[in-house]
Amino acid sequence: MPTWSKSLFAQVCAALILGVVVGLLAPELASKMKPLGDAFIKLIKMLVPVIVFCVVVHGIAGAGDLKKVGRVGVRALVYFEIVTTVALALGIAIAYIFGPGHGMNIDISTLDASALSSYVEKAHEVSSGGTVEFLMKLIPTTMISGFAQGDVLQVLLVAILFGCALSRVGERGKPLLQLLELAGDVTFKIMSFIVRLAPIGVFGAIAFTVGKYGVGSLAQLGYLVALFYVTIALFVFVVLGSIMHVAGFSIVKLLRYLRTEVGIVAGTASSDAVLPQTMRKLEHLGIKDSTVGLVIPTGYSFNLDAFSIYLTLAAVFIAQATNTPLAFTDLLAILGVALITSKGAHGVPGSAIVILAATLAAIPTIPAIGLVLVLSVDWFMGIARALGNYLGNCVATVAVASWVGDIDKERARRILDGEALAPVSPNAHVVPSKGYVAG
């Protein structure tokens, strides 16, 4: 059997192609493949809370210096807000420069609002609570409720408190710390089993999408979709590329290092599917586990770069398509509201449309019914959203680690150059030429 066929990246690529072929040739059969993709993502999500808890607790308790952990958290949040604002502004700028909605002349009275009813209801729940309600939701009802609900931010809060307390206990807490480290290693081993199923999950997700919507489903609003993909590419290679350059690394080399995970994200349109193994790969890169454990999980809710671009680009697009004039104050309102509403995106069913509806609800100038225009192509835009969000958080981890001195830059450069080095964790391994394998 050829060596390339044993590579998970090659298998994922083959699954993508096969999914498209099945979707085109047997659409009825392909439309029944959705459970394959859903099952794969559910298997991954099943382990995410436990992995986040073990990694964060071990990182904080093992670091010893709680003040430094606090500095990492504060700097990560500062970074998130700055880059998110840049992303939001980029979305508005691209929409105004290229005007994807101009010329559509949509009469809002002809749009069918029935498809939006469930999204609008959820959007009302998101927007009505405001910032205080969002912050209250970060606090779990019990110590374990975050695990039961799969709420990563709630688990993160418990893990931070637990890690800080365990650090203060001192020597008496060493046995528990070792137990948590072992639990994390076992969970990562389970994850390595599940990741091998990625090609099946990618095949199911792609086959279903092509079979149900058809390749031609991109024709409607195709310009908006294409523009969004180009904007995400611009953001990744220019904005994130510049950040990586300042940190002393190459965005292209990071993409090559994460190629398997990028393929899985593209196939499933979900960055959740690769969160655990990404944390391990960043640790292998030479970043301290305490920094990885804080930045990555927090970034999944507070650093949604591509999602931010989507919010402002789609909002201005809807205004253009419905011939709704926007004043400069309206643009500032979109920017400000989206900066807040984007923070509640992760974990909300149908989050893109829901959060976009919540954003528009705060800006009555733009007709919310215009959401119907982007609903039909939301899944395709979701692929770029997932990729942009994923890469944004990986770059954020490298940037914050460089900022606070928590990365071995020499090791990182050697690994990004393709050199196979011994793993940081004794229970993980590197397979030459195939990338890093957790477990």
How confident is the model over 85-128, as pLDDT tens digits? 999 999 999 998 998 877 766 555 555 555 555 555 555 555 55
pLDDT attached to residue 351: 59
Tally of structural domains, the chain: 1
- Residue 200 — φ and ψ, nearest 5°? -70, -45
Q: Please, which pLDDT band fits residue 1 given cuts at 50, 70 and 90?
A: very low
If you search the block for the tokens 């489903």, which residue do you land on?
Answer: 217
Question: Among 82-91, 294-303, 430-439, where is mean pLDDT lowest?
Answer: 430-439
CA distance 267 to 24: 16
Residue 428's pLDDT is 47
- Domain span including residue 380: 3-437
Residues of the chain with pLDDT > 90: what percent?
18
Q: Residue 108: what pLDDT?
A: 56
Backbone angles phi, psi at 111, to 5 degrees: -85, 140
Give me the chain's average pLDDT, please. 77
Question: Averaged over 412-423, what is the pLDDT?
Answer: 84
Q: Packing angle between helix 152-169 and helix 289-302, nearest 10 degrees?
A: 150
pTM over 0.85: no
Write the pLDDT tens digit of every residue in 147-189. 887 776 788 788 888 888 887 887 888 888 888 888 877 887 8
Q: Quote the Cα angle for 11-15-20, to 5°.
A: 155
- Let me know: does 142 contact 373? Beta carbons within 8 Å: no
Amino acid letter for position 291: T
Instruction: Give the pLDDT of residue 437.
Output: 41
Amino acid at 308: S
pLDDT in tens, 196-232: 787 887 788 778 767 775 655 444 467 888 899 999 9
Angle at 325 between CA 321 and CA 330, to 5 degrees: 110
Of the candidates 146, 175, 152, 187, the residue with the CA atom closest to the CA atom of residue 61: 175
13 DSSP assignment: H
pLDDT in tens, 355-380: 677 677 667 777 766 776 676 567 77
CATH of the domain at 239: 1.10.3860.10
* Nearest-angstrom CA–CA distance, 330 and 386: 27
DSSP 430: E
Share of the chain above pLDDT 70, in %: 76
Q: Give the helix, strand, coil percentages of the chain, each rounded to 5.
A: 80, 0, 20
Nearest of 336, 338, 329, 337 to residue 309 by alpha carbon: 338
Q: Cα 278–284–290 angle (5° rounding)?
A: 75
Q: What is the pLDDT of residue 321?
A: 80
